Structure 1
Amino acid sequence: MKVQPRFIVLISLLLTVYAALNFYIGWHMTEWSSAVGIGYSPYGFWIPFALLAYGFLLGRIPLPNPLKPAGRLLKVAGSVYIFVMEIGLLLFLLADAVRLVLWLTNGVSEAYIVGSGTVVLGLIALLLLVGSRNAWSPVVRSHELRIDKPARRGKTEWTVAVASDIHLGNLVGRKHLLRLVERINAMKPDLILLPGDVIDDSIEPFLRNRMGELLGRLQAEHGVYAVLGNHEYYGGHMERYVEEMKGIGIRVLRDETVEVDGKLYVAGRKDKTAEASGPDGRLAVRELLRDVDPRKPVLLMDHQPTQFAKAEEAGADVLLSGHTHRGQFWPNHLFTKRLFELDWGYMRKGAMHVVVSSGFGSWGPPIRLGSRSEIIRLKLILQAR
């Protein structure tokens, strides 16, 4: 495939900007180190710092088997640094704004360099602790949804457990997955729905750490269903993933609709990523729901929270999405809030209920600020006949 010159220029520009931002952060750290009297070797600082700054990218390079653990460690460390870089950049810019005012008035003393650097580094450490706690301590959020359709066979209430964006991989592993299984099974749900991004790109950690054994312990009277998220597409192991899920009793719906015990429907769309393969990459929602009985409730999973109006017009009663992570950490939620009609929480769209989860796992840094790792508990209430 021929690489376009415009693409090369864009990548070069992005790498240059990224390098400049990291140099800015590294320079502040060396300046503070010198001010407080901590000696360092330029090579001893900048080489490890560069490995950390580019670790998330370098850790994705295929390595021989003996070196793979080192590559995974580099990827994990680099992912944490993504948070440090973003928060550090904002805090150092704020400190430099004050510094500029001081320089224009009375000058900048070494005491300010020591004090501001100490405060910034201390805040980064504190936010790392708080953010880690938010990422690894999931909460259960409950929503009671009334659906104006008659119950079938006397079942007027359904408990539905929802967990999106688990991102099982090198960062989110068996320990966090066990929390998910225990909390969901404690709900004794009628139905369990997983609206995409169950794995984080590569399926290799999922297989190597036998995460399927744990995921297969999820229990619901009427089954467990999932849909594909963008990360299942990115990993390039989609068919293997679908087979692995089938082997543990979880059906992955790819533009499919299932009638559950004659009482309601669960529909699952392919992820929006499929549209890149052409106009037939995934079904329009009206086509997906064309043959459902409109007298029965329809629960629709679509990983990315888009096309609410079309889903409501097609007859969905509940739309479940994830994908956004609610920005995962501040101030990213300011962008996701503008990008999506609903980036987190609940809204009513005509007769349809929409619930968008911030997700159970994390992408990149295992850090959450302004969001929490969460499981959704839905209580569906139907009309008594």
Structure 2
Amino acid sequence: MSSRLRVTAIITGILLLLVVIQYYIGWHGWLLLSTVFHLGTSSVYWILFWIIAFGYVLARLGSRVLPSFVYRTLKLLGSYWLAAMLYLLLMLPLVDLVAWVVRLGDWMTSDQAVKGLGVIVVLLLAAILFRGSWNAWNPVIRRYDLHIAKKAGEWKTLRVAVASDLHLGTIVRKSYLQVLVDRVNALQPDLILFPGDVIDDSVKPFIEQNMGQVMKQLQAKLGIYAVLGNHEYIGGHVAEYVKQMQACGIRVLMDEQVKIADSFYILGRKDRAVERFGGGSRLALEELLAGVDTTLPLILMDHQPYHLDKAAEQGIDVMLSGHTHRGQMTPNHWITGRLFELDWGYIKKRGLHAIVSSGFGTWGPPIRLGSRSEIIELNLHFEG
């Protein structure tokens, strides 16, 4: 079987599975509504259900032709549905089992079981979405104090504000970006770093909402730097994105190194996605370090937290990543925990201090459970 045919077969299989899952959930929804409200015809219900169930996909496919309001509405409804689908898929099999036991014991009528269990599911889902939304829109400041066994010129302590995975776009909008700017400026950082996925695929909403005017409010005496994440490459407008960042006073490092105040280095890698979506490649870490004075502190931004051992071998002192969102919605963290050596938080490997942020924004549903939106306050103490 050719690789193209194999990919087509996999995608077809995934779509069929998704349709089956959606129908399974939709059938339960119709069962509850028809029982409670004594509805007779289901045609309108199913039309609305399938529009919402595939709203995110429809919005993405029709982004160039749909009116702006329709696009945003479909994407928002579809995004929330992704979260609802996950938790309904976890709850409904258990509900079916309970309903079967209840009917087997003849403890209540079928209608009573549907109404009683249906109300429980609806209330649980509403509680999950409410709490998850609160977690997503109320970021925390997470502080790390790290000791680096090197001198950094006259700098004894460096305060760095770090925010990864903003995913600015049609869901994470300008008003939430203002929250980031206000919180970061309140930290009075010496340096601000963005380890990738500043935008959510397309740079168009960033421009349309004039988000650059908000980004320009950021203040850091030693500058503001960013690297590309996979979503910048997926969006396919890297050059325009870099231009927009430059206009905000933010330098995007693409396999580049910058010596700051003759005291330490910031190194920024291209994301691994460049090989798949960007039509290019990225430098090996040892190539990126060519000509770098490794006796000075080295701070690396690499969006996806792979190969921490290689960063440690090359003498990197601090590695900052994001990408994982810590699964964003539990129990997805079980998956990210297996995919990455460190999917969130902090680890030390020899002289390397590695930090992976759960991110400031969200992808898909603006829902977080088992994770929080966060800004990192990084205090580096140089003790060489």
* Cα distance in 2 for residues equivalent to 1:38 and 1:349: 63
The alpha-carbon deviation at position 152 of structure 1 amounts to 1.0
* Contact 1:172 1:362 (8 Å CA) reproduced: yes
Counterpart residue number, 1:343: 343
After superposition, where does 1:286-297 map in structure 2 within 5 Å? 286-297=286-297
- The answer on 1:67 being equivalent to 2:61 is no
Counterpart residue number, 1:33: 33
* Cα distance in 2 for residues equivalent to 1:193 and 1:33: 49
Q: Encode CA deviations 1:265-307: one digit per residue, 9 max, x unaligned.
A: 0000000112337997001111112321121111000000101
- The answer on 1:319 being equivalent to 2:319 is yes
The verdict on how the C-alpha distance between 1:24 and 1:107 changes in structure 2, with shifts beyond 3 A counting, is farther
User: How many equivalent pairs are there?
Assistant: 382
Give secondary structure in 2 for the equivalent of 1:59. Answer: helix
Letter in 2 for 1:296: L
Letter in 2 for 1:358: S
Counterpart residue number, 1:91: 91
* Cα distance in 1 for residues equivalent to 2:277 and 2:233: 11
The verdict on how the C-alpha distance between 1:56 and 1:66 changes in structure 2, with shifts beyond 3 A counting, is closer
The alpha-carbon deviation at position 7 of structure 1 amounts to 2.9
Counterpart residue number, 1:382: 382
Structure 1 window deviating more from structure 2 (38-47 vs 201-210): it is 38-47
Give secondary structure in 2 for the equivalent of 1:375. Answer: strand
Give secondary structure in 1 for the equivalent of 2:183. Answer: helix
Structure 1: tracts of 5 or more residues without a match = none
* Cα distance in 2 for residues equivalent to 1:114 and 1:232: 46
* Contact 1:290 1:314 (8 Å CA) reproduced: no
Counterpart residue number, 2:208: 208
Counterpart residue number, 1:256: 256
- Two-structure CA RMSD over aligned residues (Å): 1.9
Counterpart residue number, 1:15: 15
The verdict on how the C-alpha distance between 1:288 and 1:279 changes in structure 2, with shifts beyond 3 A counting, is farther
The alpha-carbon deviation at position 37 of structure 1 amounts to 3.1
After superposition, where does 1:1-385 map in structure 2 within 5 Å? 4-39=4-39, 41-62=41-62, 67-106=67-106, 109-110=109-110, 111-153=112-154, 155-276=155-276, 281-383=281-383
The alpha-carbon deviation at position 39 of structure 1 amounts to 2.5
* Cα distance in 1 for residues equivalent to 2:261 and 2:38: 68
* Cα distance in 2 for residues equivalent to 1:172 and 1:277: 23
Letter in 2 for 1:340: F
Letter in 2 for 1:75: K
The alpha-carbon deviation at position 40 of structure 1 amounts to 6.0
Give secondary structure in 1 for the equivalent of 2:368. Answer: coil
The alpha-carbon deviation at position 103 of structure 1 amounts to 4.8
The verdict on how the C-alpha distance between 1:169 and 1:278 changes in structure 2, with shifts beyond 3 A counting, is closer
* Cα distance in 2 for residues equivalent to 1:299 and 1:97: 53
Letter in 2 for 1:121: V
Letter in 1 for 2:175: K
Give secondary structure in 2 for the equivalent of 1:140. Answer: strand
* Cα distance in 1 for residues equivalent to 2:206 and 2:167: 10
Give secondary structure in 2 for the equivalent of 1:96. Answer: helix
* Contact 1:266 1:300 (8 Å CA) reproduced: yes
Structure 2: tracts of 5 or more residues without a match = none
The alpha-carbon deviation at position 99 of structure 1 amounts to 2.8
Aligned residues: percent identity?
A: 48
Letter in 1 for 2:318: V
* Cα distance in 1 for residues equivalent to 2:156 and 2:188: 16
Letter in 1 for 2:126: A
The verdict on how the C-alpha distance between 1:89 and 1:265 changes in structure 2, with shifts beyond 3 A counting, is same
TM-score (structure 1 length as normaliser): 0.95
Give secondary structure in 1 for the equivalent of 2:364. Answer: coil
* Cα distance in 1 for residues equivalent to 2:92 and 2:267: 48
Letter in 2 for 1:82: L
TM-score (structure 2 length as normaliser): 0.95
Give secondary structure in 1 for the equivalent of 2:67. Answer: helix
* Cα distance in 1 for residues equivalent to 2:225 and 2:106: 65
The alpha-carbon deviation at position 108 of structure 1 amounts to 6.9
Letter in 1 for 2:342: L
Runs ≥4 residues deviating over 4 A: 63-66, 103-108, 277-280
The verdict on how the C-alpha distance between 1:279 and 1:63 changes in structure 2, with shifts beyond 3 A counting, is closer
